[in-house]
Structure 1
Amino acid sequence: MSEIAGMSAKADSQRRRGRLLLRMGIAALATCAFAFVLGLILFLDHVADLEAPPELQAADGIVVLTGGQSRIDTGLHLLKAGKGKRLLISGVNPMARRDDLRLATGGDRNLFNCCIDIDRVALNTIGNAEESAKWASANTYGSIIVVTNNYHMPRSLLEMRRILPEADLQPYPVVNTPLSGSAWLANPDALRVLVIEYTKYVAALARGLVSTSHPEPILHDVHVEDMSTVVRK
């Protein structure tokens, strides 16, 4: 009987331990979910307030991260206004012809030939940051205006500051869909894009936390070409 009682007590102890672990797991999941949702609300509020600065200090160079409407047009406008010496368009299709991008944007041929560089290597935001760092180093640029959509700006700056910690990065967000006043709640497509982008931003933050060292730009091999490609993304 004592042996049976001991086995029963052990089984009860294991059940209690299992229930405790289950409650702890549920609590941990609930905490993570709450933190994720709270972070998403803060992210949405921050992105909704991003807009092009009324006064923009001139920088050494301008970098446009391709992938969204009006980004390249905005970069060209800033270059024409003398806000940078050169413009890098990062993340461009290597299969396109030389004049495709100029024709697509209606850009001036002389401006394209003299002052615009093309990165054909970057496939994502991390690649954009790496190729931008190579370009900035090759031109000895210490200040850069970063042009991308408002929802993409937090992650873009996060990745670029990891590789260019000493550079002065000035954000110039492009706003295609107004999000102020919680307008994103009434726009399912915008909300979907924002949730996906926030998830990528959290993943980028987590990658930085677990990484033991920051990635270093490869400065001896600069993959930029003068107007030989068109936007990939």
Structure 2
Amino acid sequence: MKARRVSGMGRLVTRMGLGLLKGAVVAFLAWGVGLALFAAALPTRILDNQTVTDAIVVLTGGSGRVPAGLDLLSAGMGRTLFLSGVGADVTLNDLDATSAITVPGPLRERVVLGHAAVDTIGNAHETARWMAACGYRSLRLVTAAYHMPRSLVEFRAVMPEVLVIPNPVFPGRSSNGSGGSGVGRRC
């Protein structure tokens, strides 16, 4: 039997295939390193649970966030609770009626709904406008632990002069049963 010679075209196809394979391996390794860095950046606890801020800002969309915000407001950790990203037509009464979250009477006047945001960048811009209108200089940011790194980047980019204290929520760890929302553009 004669050995087959690989034509120039065959060698080119083989080299291209190997090049694509190497590229895929490098891309997979880069993705893996990125995933590991992301996981390492996730908060595992609340680092500062003592500093009182002007506002408590909750990014809506996940379990445990609003109850955590209400608990912080009730504990005096901020003057006002701002819920960013609430549905356009949603009111405080709607939230009380349609969810397991009820805002206690004494706190209702200190809860504000933000209706403009639909994503994290929007949350940051909506909050920045509200904070500026109120003259606030510090906030405690409440969102899920997995969402905190990105949220901090967006908030600090839009409000570099504002003190932002992360207050991660850990969905699934425990439920405290409280919750709430607000209405208007009060400070």
The alignment status of 1:111 with 2:107, answered yes or no, reads yes
AA aligned opposite 1:156: S
Counterpart of 1:59 in structure 2 is 53
The alignment status of 1:34 with 2:29, answered yes or no, reads yes
CA displacement at 1:128 relative to structure 2:
0.9
AA aligned opposite 2:20: G
Counterpart of 2:158 in structure 1 is 163
How many residue pairs are counted as aligned between the two chains? 169
RMSD: 2.4
Q: For residues 171 and 97 of structure 1, do their structure 2 counterparts lie closer, same or farther at Cα, with a shift above 3 Å needed? A: closer
Q: Deviations over 1:107-138 (max 9, x none)?
A: 1234212x221111111111111111111111
Q: Deviations over 1:143-187 (max 9, x none)?
A: 111000111111111211221122211100011235xxxxxxxxx
- Aligned with 2:52: secondary structure? coil
- Aligned with 1:60: secondary structure? strand
Q: Which has the higher helix share?
A: 1
Q: For residues 15 and 69 of structure 1, do their structure 2 counterparts lie closer, same or farther at Cα, with a shift above 3 Å needed? A: same
- Aligned with 1:123: secondary structure? coil
- Aligned with 1:107: secondary structure? coil
Tell me how far apart the structure 1 counterparts of residues 150 and 143 of structure 2 sit (CA, whole Å): 10
Tell me how far apart the structure 1 counterparts of residues 141 and 152 of structure 2 sit (CA, whole Å): 8
AA aligned opposite 1:112: R
Report the TM-score, using the length of structure 1 for normalisation. Answer: 0.64
Counterpart of 2:4 in structure 1 is none
Counterpart of 2:73 in structure 1 is 79
Q: Deviations over 1:6-58 (max 9, x none)?
A: xxxxx83x6655544443333222212111112213322432x5222363311
AA aligned opposite 2:93: D
- Aligned with 2:78: secondary structure? coil
Choose from 132, 140, 147 the match for 2:142. Answer: 147
Counterpart of 1:89 in structure 2 is 83
CA displacement at 1:97 relative to structure 2:
4.0
- Aligned with 1:89: secondary structure? strand
CA displacement at 1:78 relative to structure 2:
0.9
Q: Deviations over 1:194-233 (max 9, x none)?
A: xxxxxxxxxxxxxxxxxxxxxxxxxxxxxxx9526xxxxx
